[in-house]
C-alpha cells in the first residue's frame, strides 16, 4: 500500500474586500456560515451501517401476513373538512391522544432505529450554594465532549447551564443554575461511545452492566403484562443510565489532570434514538448494546 | 413458530408465504424466471435450516482520494476555527511533556497551513535545543517507534481462504464444499417437532464443529430458498425442499467441519461466493448477503 501523502492545498484566493468585523467577538465575520463536518472516517458509524442495522432489522422483525389494524378509534366523528367553519378547528379524539398505546411502525430498512444524539448531564447540588461551584462541572463537560460553551454551529449548543424548573424544598430552587449538560451528535457522539465502552466501563469496579428496569406491571397491577407501557420513557426510545462519581476519573480526558478539577462528579448519560411506539425502549437498548455497552436484567 | 405451523401456513397462502420474509434488499427481481416447483398437497415439504455465518468487518473501508481530500479540508477548517488550547490547564509550565506537545503541534500546523506556520519563535536557541534533546530522549524511553499494522494481512497475499483475518474491510461468509464438489452454506434437516431456530443452532454445531463461539442473530429466518426439484427416481412423489436461512456471527475460534460430509471450507466475500456456487443457488441467496 502506498504511503498516504497529505493533501496539498493551492493558494487561497486573494482578498479583494476586507471582511466585515464583529465588534462583540472582536473577530472578522466569515462570509459564509462555516460548518465543520467529518474530519475522518468513523469506525462506529461504519459498524452501524455494515452490521448493526441489518441485525436490528432481523431481531425486531415481526412476521404478519395480515395488515396491522389501525388503532385510531372513530368515536367522535371528524369535522367535515370541506366546511370552512370547521376546517381549522381542533377535533381531539375522545380519551386523549393515547401515546402509550401507539404501536411501533413495522420494521423495514427505512425504520431501523438510529442513534440521533447523546446527552451528558451533570447536576451539582453545590451550585445552589454558590454559582462558582458550577465551574468544575462545566470544565469536566468541556473536557469530555470537546465542546465549548458557545459555538458558531447552530445545531450544536455546546455546554449548556441547566436551571431549576420548579421550586422543590430542600432540593432545587426555581431559576437557579443547578447543573450543566452537553448534546453530542455525529462523529463526536461515536467517539464518546468508544471512549465509554473501551476506557471507562471496563475499569469500573463490580460492574456487570447497566440494570434494565423491571417491567412496570406487577401481579398487583390491573394491566396485562403485554400492555405495560405506562411510562413516557418506554415509548420514546431514549436509553438512560447513570455513572457514579468514581467513573469520572476513568475518562482519559479527565485522567491526565484529575487534580485540576475540584471534585469528581457523577453524571447521567442519555442515548436518544428515533425508535417510537410500543417497545421502543427495548429496541433502542438493543441498538445501544450493539455499541458494546452492557445491560443486565434485574431478576 | 414451529415447523408444523409453517407447513400449514404454506398450504393456506402460498403466494403470501413466498414473499413474506425480510431480506436485506428488495429482492425477487431475478433476471430470469426460474421454475417454481408445483405444490403437492399430499406430501409434506422437507424443511432445512441453513446458517449464513458471518465475520463482520474488522477494518474501516479505505477512503477514496476524494474522501481523503474532503477530510483534509474539514480538518484544516477545524484547525483554523477551534478554540485556543489551554496549555496551562493541561501541562506544568516548562515540562518536557509540554515541549513535546508544542513541537508536535507546530508540525501539525505546518502540515495544515504551509511552511510559514508553526515556526518556532524562541529567543534562546540553546534552551530550545536542550528541550528538543529532552523530548527525543523521552521518545526513546517510551519506545515510540512502534509501527502500525498494515491494512492488508499476510493471508490476503497468500490467498488463504481459511483465515479469518483475510479481507478485513469486508463481510466474510462461511461456505462449505460437499464431497461431490458443490459449495453451499452450512445446512441441516429440521427434526419433527423442533423449532426452526433450535434446528439452526444444532445444525451449525453438527456441520462446523464446536470449536467456535457463535451467535445466531434472531429467531426469525432472514430468507428462504427452494432447491430445484430432482428427477423422481420412482413413482412415489418426492417431497419438496424448503431451506430457511439464519444469520449468525462468529466471535472467536475457527470452523472445523465434519470431514465425513464436508471436503473443504472457505471464508468468502459476496463476490467470491458468486463465482463458486451454482447459478440457481446464487439467485436464491444473493439478496441475503451484505455488499459491505
pLDDT digits (tens, 9 = 90+) for B20-61: 444 444 444 444 555 555 555 567 888 999 999 999 999 999
Instruction: Evaluate whether residue B259 is within a structural domain.
Output: yes
Determine the distance in angstroms separating the CA of A96 from the nearest CA of chain B, rounded to an integer. 35
| Residues B24, B160 within the same domain | yes
Q: Under an 8 A CB cutoff, do B25 and A109 touch?
A: yes
| Cα–Cα distance, B158 to B73 (Å, whole number) | 37
pLDDT-derived band at B131 (thresholds 50, 70, 90) equals: confident
| Residues B188, B82 within the same domain | no
A4, A39, A57 ranked by CB distance to B74: nearest: A39
Which residues is B184 bridged to in the sheet? B176
pLDDT digits (tens, 9 = 90+) for A4-44: 566 777 777 788 888 888 888 888 887 787 788 899 999 99
Last residue of a domain, one of B142, B168, B202: B142
Q: What are the chain A neighbours of B67 within 8 Å (beta carbons)?
A: 41
In terms of CA atoms, which chain A residue is nearest residue B289? Answer: A54
Instruction: Evaluate whether residue B149 is within a structural domain.
Output: no
Between A and B, how many residue pairs show a Cβ–Cβ distance under 8 A? 88
Q: Under an 8 A CB cutoff, do B81 and A40 touch?
A: no
Q: Can you give the CATH number for the domain in which B228 is found?
A: 3.90.79.10
**Taking each helix axis from N to C terminus, what angle separates B65-81 and B96-113, rounded to the nearest 10 degrees?**
120
Instruction: Evaluate whether residue B147 is within a structural domain.
Output: no
In terms of CA atoms, which chain A residue is nearest residue B218? Answer: A59
- Assess contact for B290 and B184: CB atoms under 8 A: no
Q: Which residues of B253-289 are buried (b: 16+ CB within 10 A; e: fewer)?
A: eebebeeeebeebbbbbbebbeeebeeebebbbbbbb
| Residues B284, B192 within the same domain | yes
Query: Which among B188, B168, B172 has a CA at the least distance from the CA of B249?
Result: B172
Last residue of a domain, one of B122, B142, B162: B142
Q: Under an 8 A CB cutoff, do A9 and B71 touch?
A: no
Q: What are the chain A neighbours of B77 within 8 Å (beta carbons)?
A: 34, 36
| Residuewise pLDDT in 10s, chain A (299 residues) | 444 566 777 777 788 888 888 888 888 887 787 788 899 999 999 999 999 999 999 998 888 766 666 666 666 666 777 888 887 888 776 766 677 777 888 888 999 999 999 999 999 989 988 999 999 999 999 999 988 765 545 456 789 999 999 998 888 889 999 999 999 998 999 999 999 999 999 999 999 999 987 765 555 555 555 545 467 778 888 999 999 999 999 999 999 999 999 999 999 999 999 998 888 888 999 999 999 999 998 76
Instruction: Mutate one of A46, A55, A58 to test the B interface: name it (highest B CB count within 10 A).
Output: A58
Cα–Cα separations (whole angstroms), residue A219 to A126, A282, B283: 41, 21, 51
Q: SS3 string of chain A?
A: CCCCCCCCCCCCCCCCCCCCEECCCCEECCCCCCCCCCCCCCHHHHHHHHHHHHHHHHHHCCCCCCCCCCCCCCCCCCCCCCCCCCCCCCCCCCCCCCHHHCCCCCCCCCCCCCEEEEEEEEECCHHHHCHHHHHHHHHHHHHHHCCCCCCCCCCCCCEEEEECCCCECCCECCCCEEEEEEEECCHHHHHHHHHHHHHHHHHCCCCCCEEECCCCCCCCCCCCHHHCCCCHHHCCCEEEEEECHHHHCCCHHHHCCHHHCCCCCCEEEEEEECCCCCCHHHHHHHHHHCCCCCEEECC
| Residues B41, B164 within the same domain | yes
| Residues B234, B278 within the same domain | yes
Instruction: Evaluate whether residue B235 is within a structural domain.
Output: yes
User: Does any CB of chain A come closer than 8 Å to the CB of residue B21?
Assistant: yes
Which residues is B183 bridged to in the sheet? B177
B1, B72, B74 ranked by CB distance to A6: nearest: B72
| Residues B216, B236 within the same domain | yes
Instruction: Evaluate whether residue B187 is within a structural domain.
Output: yes
In terms of CA atoms, which chain A residue is nearest residue B111? Answer: A6
| Residues B75, B173 within the same domain | no
Instruction: Evaluate whether residue B19 is within a structural domain.
Output: yes
| Residues B74, B207 within the same domain | no
Instruction: Evaluate whether residue B148 is within a structural domain.
Output: no
| Residues B95, B236 within the same domain | no
Q: What total of structural domains would you count in chain B? A: 2
Q: What are the chain A neighbours of B220 within 8 Å (beta carbons)?
A: 58-59, 61, 63
Which residues is B246 bridged to in the sheet? B51
| Residues B230, B278 within the same domain | yes
Q: What are the chain A neighbours of B1 within 8 Å (beta carbons)?
A: 63
Q: Under an 8 A CB cutoff, do B217 and A55 touch?
A: yes
Last residue of a domain, one of B115, B142, B169: B142
The three cell numbers of residue B109 are 500546523
Residue-number span of the structural domain to which B224 is assigned: 3-60+154-288
| Residues B163, B262 within the same domain | yes
In terms of CA atoms, which chain B residue is nearest residue A261? Answer: B89
Instruction: Evaluate whether residue B15 is within a structural domain.
Output: yes
C-alpha B50 chain-centroid distance: 18
| Residues B284, B195 within the same domain | yes
Amino acid at each position: 500500500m502506498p504511503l498516504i501523502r497529505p493533501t496539498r492545498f493551492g493558494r487561497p484566493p486573494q482578498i479583494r474586500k476586507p471582511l466585515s468585523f464583529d465588534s462583540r467577538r472582536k473577530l472578522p465575520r466569515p462570509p459564509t456560515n462555516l460548518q465543520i463536518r467529518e474530519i475522518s472516517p468513523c469506525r462506529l458509524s461504519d459498524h452501524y451501517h455494515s452490521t448493526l442495522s441489518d441485525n436490528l432489522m432481523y431481531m425486531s422483525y415481526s412476521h404478519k401476513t395480515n395488515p396491522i389494524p389501525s388503532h385510531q378509534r372513530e368515536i367522535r366523528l371528524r369535522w367535515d373538512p370541506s366546511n370552512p367553519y370547521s376546517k381549522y378547528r381542533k377535533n381531539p379524539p375522545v380519551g386523549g391522544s393515547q401515546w402509550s398505546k401507539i404501536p411501533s411502525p413495522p420494521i423495514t430498512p427505512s425504520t431501523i432505529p438510529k442513534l440521533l444524539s447523546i446527552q451528558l448531564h451533570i447536576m451539582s447540588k453545590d451550585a445552589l450554594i454558590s454559582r462558582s461551584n458550577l465551574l468544575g462541572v462545566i470544565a469536566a463537560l468541556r473536557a469530555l465532549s470537546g465542546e465549548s460553551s458557545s459555538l458558531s454551529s447552530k445545531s450544536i449548543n455546546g455546554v449548556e447551564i441547566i436551571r431549576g424548573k420548579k421550586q422543590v424544598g430542600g432540593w432545587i430552587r426555581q431559576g437557579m443554575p443547578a447543573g450543566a449538560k452537553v448534546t453530542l451528535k455525529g462523529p463526536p457522539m461515536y467517539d464518546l461511545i468508544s471512549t465509554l465502552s473501551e476506557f471507562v466501563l471496563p475499569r469500573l469496579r463490580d460492574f456487570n452492566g447497566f440494570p434494565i428496569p423491571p417491567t412496570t406491571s406487577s401481579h398487583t397491577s390491573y394491566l396485562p403484562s403485554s400492555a405495560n407501557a405506562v411510562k413516557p420513557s418506554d415509548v420514546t426510545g431514549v436509553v438512560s443510565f447513570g455513572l457514579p462519581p468514581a467513573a469520572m476519573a476513568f475518562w482519559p480526558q479527565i485522567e491526565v489532570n484529575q487534580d485540576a478539577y475540584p471534585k469528581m462528579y457523577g453524571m447521567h448519560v442519555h442515548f436518544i434514538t428515533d425508535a417510537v411506539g410500543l417497545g421502543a425502549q427495548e429496541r433502542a437498548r438493543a441498538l445501544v448494546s450493539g455499541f458494546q455497552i452492557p445491560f443486565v436484567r434485574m431478576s | 413458530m414451529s415447523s408444523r405451523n409453517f407447513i400449514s401456513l404454506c398450504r393456506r397462502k402460498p403466494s403470501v408465504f413466498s414473499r413474506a420474509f425480510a431480506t436485506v434488499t428488495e429482492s425477487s427481481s431475478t433476471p430470469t424466471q426460474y421454475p417454481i416447483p408445483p405444490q403437492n398437497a399430499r406430501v409434506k415439504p422437507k424443511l432445512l435450516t441453513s446458517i449464513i455465518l458471518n465475520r463482520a468487518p474488522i477494518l474501516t473501508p479505505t477512503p477514496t482520494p476524494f474522501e481523503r481530500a474532503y477530510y483534509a479540508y474539514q480538518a484544516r477548517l477545524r484547525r483554523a476555527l477551534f478554540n485556543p488550547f489551554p496549555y496551562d490547564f493541561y501541562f506544568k509550565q516548562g515540562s518536557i511533556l509540554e515541549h513535546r506537545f508544542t513541537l508536535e503541534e507546530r508540525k501539525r500546523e505546518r502540515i495544515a497551513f504551509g511552511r510559514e506556520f508553526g515556526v518556532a519563535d524562541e529567543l534562546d536557541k540553546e534552551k530550545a535545543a536542550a528541550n528538543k534533546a529532552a523530548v527525543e530522549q523521552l521518545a526513546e524511553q517510551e519506545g515510540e517507534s512502534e509501527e502500525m499494522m498494515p491494512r492488508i494481512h499476510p493471508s490476503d497475499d497468500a490467498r488463504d481462504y481459511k483465515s479469518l483475518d483475510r479481507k478485513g474491510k469486508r463481510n466474510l461468509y462461511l461456505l462449505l464444499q460437499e464431497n461431490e464438489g458443490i459449495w453451499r452454506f452450512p445446512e441441516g434437516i429440521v427434526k419433527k417437532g423442533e423449532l426452526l431456530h433450535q434446528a439452526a443452532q444444532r445444525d451449525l454445531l453438527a456441520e462446523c464443529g464446536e470449536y467456535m463461539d457463535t451467535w445466531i442473530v434472531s429467531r426469525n429466518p432472514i430468507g428462504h430458498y427452494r432447491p430445484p426439484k430432482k428427477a423422481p427416481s420412482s413413482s412415489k412423489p418426492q417431497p419438496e425442499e424448503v431451506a430457511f436461512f439464519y444469520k449468525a456471527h462468529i466471535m472467536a475460534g475457527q470452523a472445523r467441519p465434519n470431514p465425513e460430509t464436508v471436503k473443504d471450507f472457505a471464508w468468502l466475500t459476496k463476490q467470491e461466493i458468486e463465482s463458486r456456487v451454482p447459478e440457481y443457488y446464487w439467485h436464491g441467496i444473493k439478496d441475503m448477503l451484505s455488499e459491505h
